[in-house]
Every structure is written in C-alpha cells, then in structure tokens.
Amino acid sequence: MNAALPVLFVFLALAIYLGIRSRRGKDMDLEQWTVGARSFGTVFVFLLLAGEIYTTFTFLGGSGWAYGKGGPAFYILSYGCLAYIISYWLLPVIWRYAKENRLVSQSDFFVSKYRSPYLGVLVALVGVVAMVPYLVLQLKGLGLIVSTASYGSIPEWVAVVIGVAALVIYVTISGIHGSAWTAVAKDITVLSVVVFLGIYLPLHYYGGFENMFQQIEQAKPGFLTLPKEIYSPWWFVSTVLLTALGFYMWPHTFGSTYTAENERVFRRNAIFLPLYQLVLLFVFFVGFAAVLKVPGLTGDKVDLSLLKVSTQSFDPWLVGIIGGTGLLTAMVPGSMLLIASSTLLVKNVYRVFAPATSEAQVGRLVKIMVPVVALVAMYFTLSGSSTIVTLLLLGYSFVTQLFPSLIFSLLPNNFVNKYGAAAGILAGVVTVAYLTLTGTTIGTLLPSLPQGAKDLNVGIIAMFVNVALLLAVSLITRGLTAEDEEGVRGEALES
Amino acid sequence: MKLIYVLAFIPFLGVLGGIFFANRVEPYVLGLPFILFWIVAWVVLTSVLMTIIYMLDPANREESR
C-alpha cells in the first residue's frame, strides 16, 4: 500500500465528520435542512457560492482545457466576474422575495411569481434534468482522482461507490450545514494545493512563468490566444455572456442564495468573489506546465493532465493530499446538487400532484429522495457515457433558458404571464436539445454568414426563440389571465 | 443614469469588447501572455469597481445596523 491511500481516507473521514458535527443543536426541519434557516453570514454564503466555482470541473477541467485547448480556456476566468456584477443587483431582489414568501427552492420562486404550480413543475424538471449530468460529472471526477491518486489500487468504480455512500450519509444527516462546513475544509486545501502546484510546476520545469509561456508559444504558435475560427473572439464573447447569465440559474446555486442572513451578504461578496476566482489562474498554470511535460493526452484524457503531472513530480503522500483535495471539490457541489434536486422532485413535482402531503411528510420524502437521485447518478457514471461534457454544456444551456422569465418576473409591471413563461422555457429547452444533439452550429444553419457570426454560441438562437415565444404567447393569452391578475391585485391591496 | 450603473458596465466593455484587441501573446506582462494579463487585470478591476459601487450605493448605508 502506498502513502497516498491513508491520506485520501483521512480526507473522506474529515468530510463525513464535518457533516455530522454541523447538525449539532439544530432541529432539522425542511427550512433548516435546505436553506440553513436563512442564517448564514458573508463567510458561509461566500464559501457556498465559491464552492460551486471550484468543482472537479474547474480542478480537472480547467487545467484540462488549458492543456488541450490553450487560449479558449481563459473564458472560464472571464464569465464569473461578469456574473458577480449581475449578482450585486439580482441576488438581493431574489433573496428578499424568497424570505418574504418562505421559499426553499428555485421552482418555488416561479410558482409564487407566476401563480402557477405547473410552471413550477416545468422549472423543477428542467433543473433536475440539467443537474443530473452535473452530478455525474462530479462523480466521474471523483473516480478519476481517487483511482489515479491511489496509483490504480482502487478501481474507479469502487471510488465512485464509496463517494456516493459518503455523500448520501452526510447530506441526509446535516443537509446544507454539512455542505457549508465541508466547503470550509475544501477551500482551505484547494487554495493551498492549487497555488502551490501553479507556482511550483512552472518554476521547477521551466524556471519561470514567462519562460514557460515562451516555450509553449515556440512549440505551438498561436496556442495561447484565441484562434481565428471556431473558438474565435466571437465565440468567446457570446459564450462568456450566456454563461454569465446562466450562472445563477442553476437550481442549487439559486437555492444557496436563500441561505444568506441579509442582503448585504451578496453585495459584499460581489467584491471578493472576483478576486477569489483568480485561483483559476494557478489551475491554468498547472495545465500549461503539463503541455510540454506530459504530452500526448487527447480527447477526454486531457482532464487527467493535472493528476498526471502531479504523480510524475511528487511523492505519494503529496499526491494523496492533491487527490484528497479533488475529493472535496467533488463532495461539496455533489451534496448541493443532491439537496437541490431531491427538494425539487418532492416539493415542486410530487406535491403538486399529491397536495394532501403535509410539511413533515415532504421533509421525510426529500431525505428518501436523496439516495434515489444519488443512485441514478451513480448508474449513469458507471455505465460510462463518454459524452459527459456535451451533457454538461447541455445542462448549462438548459438552465440559462430560465433567465428571461426570471428577469421579467422581477419587473414591477410584469406583462409576461404563466403561459408565456412556460412557452418560452419549453421552446428554449427544446431548441437547445435539438441544436446540441444534432451538432448544429450557426455556421451550418446559415453558411453565408461571415465567420465571426458563425462562431457565435448556439445558445443565442435558443435564447431568441425563448424570448420571442415568451412575448408572443403572453400577448395572445392576455385575456385568459385577466381574472387571475385581478385576484393578485386584490390580494396585494389587502396585504 | 446613476454613476454606479455606469461603473458596473465598464468590465463588460473591457472583457467582451476588449478581447478583440487583447487577443495576442506579445507583449508579456508580469510573465503572462498579453491576453491572459488582460483578463486578469479586468478581474482585479472588477473587484475594485465593485468596492467603489458598494461604498457609493445608498442601499448599504440604510441597512447598516
């Protein structure tokens, strides 16, 4: 047995211990379990929101993109900072409304704003469909990390099973409190490990950052910038913009904003989160350092670049720490995804069709749902679909389709009604699914366009279709909802 | 238009509009290829701008307890 394994297990034990400890002295009703009774201050909300940035996707995928694609990887560093600017105004409004109406899920928000439980069902299902591949990705990363860090002595599937078991245990016991505390442990280790690797590798192998980049540029001219076609500046602009809009539309991210104790938490976080993102810079350095040192990884193997360059450079105990860090980067988002998707399925889908379900029963059912969702994700992970990145991008495009209806619902005089919102979301999602699955790009649809327009992210088309239907259907069905609206106004006057 | 909205808009221009001009390796700044330096600079500037916005925004004064 090598020294990496015991270190890995210490990390796993730590995660479970923090999860169990965090529940102490708390009565776990649904509001406590899902949104921490809206009691989290700047630091915890910061860590929860940041926790979703540093997932296995960034840890392995960020370095993997830098290694495999070069310059286009820089988009990962760019969209967050724009999303945080939007968050300064968006999140306080969402939080205030959620608190006043005691909402616990993203779907609740649409139900309450548009007065339609069925729109809530649609939003919940879109969210869950988007989250399952995201969860699969975390589990797959977990398997890769543990099996590589154990030098192959733990097979990937065993790592996945152990990880799922640990996730289910602490999510069931402590809910969001476990995620918050594990996020603390995760962020401390991820910061130290990534900064260490990002500085050590370029200095050790190349004698400096500029040297490293110059050698790469010499070996692969143009690798460090955006190419003229496909991943062109136009691709960059449209992708960064769409991703920034979709950023807070993930149900688990949306849900974790409810945990804040007041609105200023978000405004303060908008100052610090952009800087925190700079850790990604070091993730890129690791990927770039690997370009000339562990060449030859292609396809989905590029995600292994960080781990490969680590096992090549360090002693097993240090590889164990790096692997343990990776384990935590999968656990925190994994647990939040589990909480969000089980809550959505029970509260916003099941309960709509079984309205007699009591609050306490909902609470119990959600916890029963956790292992069910985890097992579904585990099944997809182990059945080994190689198109996970496609699925993740699909998920991102799915949740982004919720953005227009959300923004309209925040307007003081929202003329978009539930029919319009539902039509827009459905049309957007169907468009995304069709375009992605058939591999359509703007270039294949309209070959006569100039190259710049061809490289635009295909999600833009779905967004247009979405907004067009949202407006058209709202106008056509205006008369249908007139009665509802009077009801709403009447109630608003009374309260 | 209020000043804070103008300030918030600047990083969008810098990151999205600027990328067309910053998409180059030379000159290296702080050891980074120019495009990477450009993006990092905007991340840092965003944080600075958000600090200014936070201080100017009356919403944060009213709530102070």
**Residue A46, SS3 per DSSP:** helix
CA atoms within 13 A on the CB side of A67: 31
Give the SS3 label for residue A473.
helix
What is the mean predicted confidence (pLDDT) over B38-63?
A: 84
Note whether A264 contacts B60, CB cutoff 8 Å: yes
- Non-local CB neighbours of B28 within 8 Å, separated by 6+ positions: A210, A213, A214, B34, B37
Helix ranges (H only) for A401-481 are 403-410, 418-437, 442-445, 451-454, 459-476
Half-sphere exposure of A132 (CA within 13 A, CB side): 19
Q: Is A69 on the interface with B (CB under 8 A)?
A: no
- Inform me whether the pLDDT recorded for B64 exceeds 80: no
Let me know: does A98 contact A109? Beta carbons within 8 Å.
yes
Residue A347 CB: number of other CB atoms within 10 A?
26
pLDDT (tens digit, 9 = 90+) per residue, B1-41? 578 888 888 888 888 888 888 888 888 888 889 889 999 99
Q: Report the alpha-carbon distance of residue A138 to residue A61 in Å, rounded.
A: 11
Which helix (H) or strand (E) covers residue A386, if one does?
A: none
Nearby residues of A158 by Cβ (< 8 Å), 6 or more positions away: none
Residue-by-residue pLDDT tens, chain A, 495 positions = 577 778 878 888 887 787 777 666 555 566 665 655 566 666 666 766 666 666 777 778 888 888 888 888 888 888 888 988 988 888 888 888 888 888 878 888 888 888 888 888 899 999 998 888 888 888 888 888 878 877 778 888 888 888 888 788 878 777 666 667 777 778 788 888 889 999 999 998 888 888 888 888 888 888 888 888 778 888 888 888 888 888 888 888 887 777 777 788 788 888 888 888 888 899 999 988 888 888 877 776 777 888 888 888 888 888 888 888 888 888 878 888 888 888 889 888 888 888 887 878 888 888 888 889 999 888 888 876 555 556 667 788 888 999 988 888 888 877 888 888 888 899 988 888 888 777 777 777 777 777 777 778 777 888 888 988 888 888 888 776 655 554 444 444 443
Residues in B touching A85 (Cβ below 8 Å): 8, 11-12, 46, 50
Extract the tokens encoding A300: 């989905």
Name which of B28, B35, B51 is nearest A210 (Cβ-Cβ).
B28
What is the C-alpha to C-alpha distance for residues A292 and A271, in angstroms, rounded to an integer?
36
Out of B39, B44, B57, name the one closest to residue A74 (CB): B39
Provide the b/e sequence for A90-119 (b: ≥16 CB within 10 Å): bbbebbeebbeeebbbbbbbbbbbbbbbeb
3-state secondary structure of A295: coil
A51, A185 Cβ separation under 8 angstroms: no
On chain A, the residues whose CB falls within 8 A of the CB of B29 are none
User: Is the peptide bond preceding residue B27 cis, with omega within 30 degrees of 0?
Assistant: yes
